[in-house]
Chains A and B, each alone.
Chain A
Amino acid sequence: MKKVMIGNHAVSWGALRSRVEVVSAYPITPQTQVVEALSDMVANGSLEARYIKVESEHSAMAACIGASIAGTRTFTATSAQGLALMHELLHWAAGGRLPVVMADINRAMAPGWTIWTDQNDSLSQRDTGWIQLYCETNQEVFDTTIQSFKLAEAVNLPVMLVLDAFFLSHTSEPVDVTEQEDVDRFLPRREAVFKMDTADPRAFGALVRPDAYMEMRWHQQEAMQEARDVFRRVEDDWEALTGRRYGPVEAYRTEGADLLLVTSGTITSTARHVVDLRRAAGEAVGLIKVKMFRPFPTGELRALLGGVDRVAVLDRNISPGRGGIFAEEIRSALYDVPPEDRPILFGYVLGLGGRDVTPAVIDDIIDNTRMKSRPEREDLWVGVEL
């Protein structure tokens, strides 16, 4: 069934098809339509779920944690300040090995007040132990929502799927909505291995002494490593069902390229267009889209970027005092590439607070990356007028 829908509703439909059992959420622009649609679905009976209308995002995540340890499939959505407010509980969900799934609609952090997109909200949560998947289209949003539950429940880790405010959240695109019976085959009801059970009473999350804490973190890290393989299998199954797959990393027109752009989120679509035009003009430019940010696709990126002359990473985010976060992670990943194969990496910071990244901006970036012998600094800010 094809439907035209905004990105936010692609999330809602993904949650509906996943038969989430408990939703707990608090409104924040630009996320709100996700949970508005879910509340309609619960109210009209199309989604058989409990919807807890909490008094804060903090309690939204806390309630999801409770519902998850009770053994159910749980979901929430948020943005920016709401995600930041959840921070402590993000650790609790991940450390507690609870497969909560959350959509984060990327919104820049205040102050100054803003509702427009950048990735600093989700990337600030990098080290909380959540798997992070960045989406480019509404179809990918729908697919990734469903895949997220399968992935989360297989490795007992929470998953954050991420989409750009407005450029995706409020933009209508056709979405092929997979039929319920097909999704049911792909994603059966959750059967939790560990849960609150009066027939088998256990304590969860108790004090852990130094002689055991580190082992718990080791298992968490092992689960993150395992998530790479599990995601591949999840995509295999989804592709068999729908014909669609995205990969943790996508290589677009990279054959023989001497310059590769690296993007995430909706900037990718604009970059595809620019790459097509450059290729048509005979220029060997390609594109790498990074979908999976945690666990980080280190191996894939080394293989794709090693041996290329120049790499331009486009970061819609900034780690103050350092640089663009994807660029920093990729620089680090490339350290183990033999020096002769190591590309010159240009890290561009752009599009913060929802500033538009047009084809002309990406054209300038390609030209600048070709023209300069080396980047003059680690963070090359695009379009800043002082």
Chain B
Amino acid sequence: MSQTIIRDRIPHEELLASGHLACPGCAAPIAMKLVLKALGPDTMVVLPACCWSIIAGPWPQSSLRVPLFHTAFETGAAVASGIKAGLEARGDSETTVISWAGDGGTFDIGLQALSGAAERNEDIIYFCYDNEAYMNTGIQRSSATPWGAWTTTTPAIDPEHQPKKDIMAIMAAHRIPYAATASVAYPVDLVEKVEKARTIRGMRFIHILAPCPPGWKTENDETIELARMAVESRVFPLMEVENGGAWRFTADHPGGPVEPYIRRQARFKHLTDDQVAHIQREVDARWEILTNRVRYGT
């Protein structure tokens, strides 16, 4: 895709100010920047504990040009529900209320509140920027950490045992109007999904893979490339699902070996070739499941 097309498709308004506190190479502010461009200024952000609690800046500063409520780790979806109800009670049904949470706040500690909000079909958009571990506290495993990864609580001599939780299937099982995956390496796809979500009423969920140089043990300038490799290798396919049944892919996923993606990240450097082959088999098996979801709608 040419640069011209991208420039035309991405709104120019900047709602993320300079001077935020993200680490160099962090995907999380890139994701926020694109999402706010797509949503526009009539947006309110709920921020449960995550890296973004720091990135947004300490009191009395804020790097966002929209209202922002910092809240407890597990409460993103519930606080957003309350804000939306409050706005509606005062006659404002237009303002978009989003929850912006990391993988810990989504897959783990916030899952109950998220499930509650999804089941009630709250009129909010829940974003998960997923860096695949508790990065803000110093790289501890979460249920979004992939199999085989090193973290400070899954040391290289005994790395992560469990496959990454299938959060999209969980959200689809709630039959919410819209759920999607997105990537900072595919900005037009990301913006289009957010714009689409904005026009839908009810619960919407967008899961964005967010490479993390300090946590993934990668170079600062590899973030976008890694995000693209994750999509192309089918580790993190770009998809959307409406009403829990209508799944579709939104990008090409040529496949090919996952090894280059894995070997670029030092969090996997302890893995043997056999273990990388295991990851390949898991990705292939999961791809089959996903293609069946697209084909059969389940």
Among B74-82, B181-189, B246-254, B285-293, the stretch that binds chain A is B74-82
Residues of A within 8 A of B72 (CB): 62, 88-89, 92
Does the CB pair A68–B56 fall under 8 Å?
no
Interface residues of A in 48-85 (CB under 8 A from B): 49-50, 52-56, 58-59, 62-72, 74
The reply to whether the CB of B95 lies closer than 8 angstroms to some CB of chain A is: yes
Q: What is the CA–CA distance of A214 and B58 in the complex, to the nearest angstrom?
A: 15
Q: Given contacts A22-B86, A205-B70, are A66 and B116 in contact (CB under 8 A)?
A: no
Contact with B along A199-216 (1 / 0, CB 8 A): 001111111110010000
Asked whether B56 lies within 8 Å of A67 as measured between CB atoms, the reply is no
A-contacting 9-mer, from B26-34, B36-44, B164-172, B201-209: B36-44
In B72-121, the 8 Å CB interface with A consists of: 72, 74-75, 77-90, 95, 112-113, 115-116, 119-120
Does the CB pair A65–B57 fall under 8 Å?
Answer: no
A residues 184-242 near B (Cβ < 8 Å) are 196-198, 201-209, 212
Are the CB atoms of A198 and B82 closer together than 8 Å?
no
Give complex CA distance A203, B86 in Å: 18
Q: Is A24 interfacial (CB 8 A cutoff)?
A: yes
Report whether A62 and B82 are in contact in the complex, using a CB–CB cutoff of 8 Å.
yes
In the complex, what residues of A have CB within 8 A of residue B43's CB? 198
From B74, B80, B83, B86, name the one whose CB has the most chain A CB atoms within 10 angstroms: B86
- Which residues on A sit within 8 Å (CB–CB) of B67? 196-198, 201-204
Q: Does A164 contact B (CB under 8 A)?
A: no
The interface residues of chain A lying within 8 Å CB-to-CB of B46 are 66
At the interface, yes or no: A379 with Cβ under 8 Å from chain B?
Answer: no
A14-56 vs B, Cβ < 8 Å mask (1 yes, 0 no)? 0000000110100000000000000000000000011011111
Name the B residues within 8 Å of A209 (CB-CB).
58-59
Contact A58 B75 (CB under 8 A): yes
Contact B54–A196 (Cβ < 8 Å): no
Interface residues of B, dominant DSSP: mixed
B115 and A55 contacting across the interface, CB-CB below 8 Å: yes
B277 within 8 A of A: no
A residues less than 8 Å from B89 (CB atoms): 21-22, 49-50, 67, 70, 72
Q: Are A62 and B75 in contact (CB under 8 A)?
A: yes
Q: Is B162 an interface position by the 8 A CB rule? A: no
- List, sorted by A's number, 21 A–B pairs whose CB atoms are closer than 8 Å: A52-B82, A52-B120, A54-B120, A62-B75, A62-B78, A64-B82, A65-B75, A67-B83, A74-B82, A88-B72, A196-B69, A202-B62, A202-B67, A203-B61, A203-B68, A203-B69, A206-B56, A206-B59, A206-B62, A208-B58, A208-B59
B contact residues vs A (CB 8 Å cutoff): 41-44, 46, 53-54, 56-62, 64-72, 74-75, 77-90, 95, 112-113, 115-116, 119-120
Query: A52-B82, A206-B61, A207-B58 known; 20 other A-B pairs, CB under 8 Å?
Result: A59-B75, A59-B113, A63-B81, A64-B82, A65-B79, A66-B78, A67-B83, A70-B86, A70-B90, A88-B72, A92-B72, A203-B56, A203-B61, A203-B64, A203-B69, A204-B68, A204-B69, A205-B69, A206-B68, A207-B54
